Structure formats: C-alpha cells, structure tokens
Amino acid sequence: MKESSKKDNLDKLDKKIEEFKSKKEENRPQRLKVQNDGWRMVIELVTGMVLGVSLGMALDYIVGSEPIFLIVFSLLGFMAGVKTMIATAKKMNETNN
C-alpha cells in the first residue's frame, strides 16, 4: 500500500514537472526576442556614437583643429543613433500589434 502511494506521488510530481517545463518553454522564445530587440537597439546607439566620434577625430586630425569636429560629430552620431533606435522601436511596435 505504501509503495503504490509512493508511485502515485512520483507520478503526480512527474506531471507537475512536465507542466512546468512546457510553460517555461512556451515563454522562452518571446523572452529571447525581447532581449535580442534590446541588444539591437543598444548596438544601434553605440554604432552611431562610434561612427560620430571616429569621423570627428579624423576630421580634427586632417584639419588640425583640436576638439571642434569631435564634439560636433559626437553629438550628430548620438542623434543619429537615437533616431535609428526610435525607428526600430516603432517598427517593433507595428510588428507586435
């Protein structure tokens, strides 16, 4: 009698574990998509900044002026990165709705 109740308890536990695993796997693709979208937006911002800083430094080196182009192109790169992030967010919003 005790062994059959133990077996029943083990069967119930197996069912609960399988239900938990199936629920976890259902949510996983959505969670990964959100993480990937977040990283995509961060990379877009950083890319804009890196391009702006590198162009500014190159122009400062060529022209011989110290920080003027670096400052201007850093701000332009930041603005371009934010603009790209906003466009990506709008596109993701349209796709999800």
Chain segment 42-93, per-residue pLDDT in tens: 999 999 999 999 999 999 999 998 899 999 999 999 999 999 999 988 888 8
Q: Minimal CA–CA distance to 84: which of 42, 33, 51?
A: 42
Euclidean distance between CA atoms 27 and 22, whole angstroms: 9
- The number of folded domains in the chain is 1
Looking at per-residue confidence, does 57 or 35 come out higher? Answer: 57
CA-based radius of gyration for the chain: 26
Residue 35 within any structural domain of the chain: yes
Helix then strand count (H, E) for the chain reads 2, 0
Check residue 51 and give its pLDDT.
Answer: 94
Check residue 10 and give its pLDDT.
Answer: 81
Residue 62 within any structural domain of the chain: yes
Residue 61 within any structural domain of the chain: yes
CB 88 within 8 A of CB 44: yes
Looking at per-residue confidence, does 20 or 74 come out higher? Answer: 74
Domain ranges, residue 89: 29-96
